[in-house]
Amino acid sequence: MDKIILKQLQFYGYHGLFPEERKLGQRFMVDLELFLDLQQAGTTDAMEDSVHYGEVFNIVQSIVEGEPKNLIETVAETIAKSLLESFHLLSACRVQVIKPNPPIDGQYHSVAVEIYREKK
């Protein structure tokens, strides 16, 4: 299956369990794989045969910068559901939500959740 890939979309949000996360906020990154047939778009060179990256970005931004959630798992589910509902050409999506600086003692690069959802 063909896919469109968007990497390291960056946003500032207020998700987390701890009061300081809800008050101060933090940076989040999102990686996406959008699964759809791109042959028609490649042949016609027409936007209506693909998915507009700017619209995808705006949807993800409204979720990550919107209403705070306790878990990044919920953020990922909300993104996947919204994308699958918004773009009729999508058959599935993979969403990774990355929290580069969670309040964890110790050394690490980041924490993330990744989900794969298909249209029903």
Establish whether 99 is a catalytic residue.
yes
Tell me how far CA of residue 42 lies from CA of 8, 12, 48, 73, in angstroms.
25, 34, 11, 34
Catalytic residue among 7, 69, 81, 99: 99
- Asked: is 3-118 a CATH 3.30.1130.10 domain? The reply is yes
| pTM, entire model | 0.95
Query: Per-residue pLDDT tens for 58-113?
Result: 999 999 999 999 999 999 999 999 999 999 999 999 999 999 988 888 888 899 99
Specify the pLDDT at position 107. 87
How far apart CA 93 and CA 35 sit, in angstroms, is 6
Q: What is the pLDDT of residue 103?
A: 82
